[in-house]
Amino acid sequence: MNQDPLLNMEQDLEYNNSLSKKLQRFVGYLVLIIGALICAAPLLWLIDSAFRPQIEIFQVPPVIMKGVSSFATYSLASFDRAINEFNVLTALSNSIIVVVLAIGLTVIVCSLCAFAFAYMNFPGKNFFFMTILATMMLPGVTMLVPYYQVIRTMGLTNNLAGLIIPYAASAFGVFMLRQYFIKLPHSLIEAAKIDGAGWVKIWWGIILPLSKPALAALAIIQFRLIWNDFLNPILILKDEALFTLPIRLQAMDSTNINVPYDAIMATGLITALIPITFFLLFQRQFIEGLTGGVKG
């Protein structure tokens, strides 16, 4: 085999190719690693700053550059200040209440609606479905003034319900769940119908348990949006006792002459770490939930 000159040449070519491939790969990795470091750096700075006294946050070169000895000044004082002076635990529990109840409501309301679109026939079905699809494109933020007026008329300003209820109107949620439901085997529903199960029972007892991956994806998408929302809470919440974390941060930043950056960094770290932890635990579901549409 090796005597064949043509084959030898091909092997040479392959060898050259693999060399340049190795170089390519090296450059590729280098770019990626630098990129990953740039992504991580501000977060690492936030983590470091959250544990330092205010005076050390703004030192250049950063105190941490001094090495291990710089950790001597680490303390939980800034968390203490955030909790005792700025009621950050209240804000944390408000954020959690809003996100949990809103996800629960979204899942129920959207799955009921998607269920009807997937399995039932009724006059106006297409019209309603197209209407829902169209809302996905509407930039709702532009209507923030009349939106606020609607919430106010309903007496939902300065009320966590004024955040939770509107979040559940997720057109994307209905669309996504319907796509999932129509792929489930129809025979299951036919069998349940023959057994005399009502629609509600089919929805709750058969479809929802079978759709856990889709429901989890919707919950994840809603979690990211709601946890990081800033505009709705700043519009609706006036009372400090109701503030969610982003509004708490905004208030901490704007009420003081000496901005309490130590407490802000501690609160910022709490705010950032919760979604990051969820992401690291459920990475696959996170990515698949977000990108489900693009793949198909």
Partner 1 sequence: MGGTTTTDSKFKWSKLTSYTPYFFIAPFMTLLIIFNFYPFIFGAKISLTDAQFINPGEFIGFKNFIEVLFADDKFIVSVIHSFQYAIGALVTQIPVAFVLAYVLNNISKRFRGVLRASFFVPCLINGVVIALVFRNLFGKEFGIINWFLGLLHLPNQTNWLGESSLSIVIMIAVSFWQWTGFHMVYFLANLQSIDPAIYEVAKLDGASPLRVLWQITVPLMRPAFTFVMVTSAIGALQLFDLPLMLFPNGTYGPGYAARTLVPYIYDFAFRQDFRVGFASAAGWLVFCIIMVISVLQLRFLGMGNADE
> Which region, left, alpha or beta, applies to residue 123 given φ > 0 means left and ψ of -120 to 50 means alpha?
beta
Q: Of 31, 34, 191, 241, which lies in the binding site for partner 1, with binding defined by CB under 8 A?
A: 31
- The yes or no reply on residue 116 touching partner 1 (CB under 8 A) is yes
Peptide bond into 233 cis (omega under 30): no
**Which C-beta is closer to partner 1: that of 74 or that of 224?**
224
Site string for partner 1, 120-159 (x = CB under 8 A): xxx--x--x--xxx-x-xxxxxxxxxxxxxx---x-----
**Which C-beta is closer to partner 1: that of 3 or that of 126?**
126
- The yes or no reply on residue 103 touching partner 1 (CB under 8 A) is no
Q: How far is the CB of 56 from partner 1 (least distance, A)?
A: 11
Rounded Cα distance between 193 and 21, Å, is 60
Consecutive H or E run containing 127: helix 125-137
- The yes or no reply on residue 294 touching partner 1 (CB under 8 A) is yes
Q: How far is the CB of 215 from partner 1 (least distance, A)?
A: 15
- The yes or no reply on residue 230 touching partner 1 (CB under 8 A) is yes
Number of H helices, E strands in the chain: 16, 0
Q: How far is the CB of 4 from partner 1 (least distance, A)?
A: 20
Q: How far is the CB of 142 from partner 1 (least distance, A)?
A: 4
Rounded Cα distance between 83 and 268, Å, is 12
Of residues 239, 224, 226, the one with CA closest to residue 278: 224
The amino acid sitting at 11 is: Q
Of 4-12, 27-35, 78-86, 184-192, the window that binds partner 1 (rule: CB under 8 A) is 27-35
Of residues 218, 227, 233, the one with CA closest to residue 161: 233
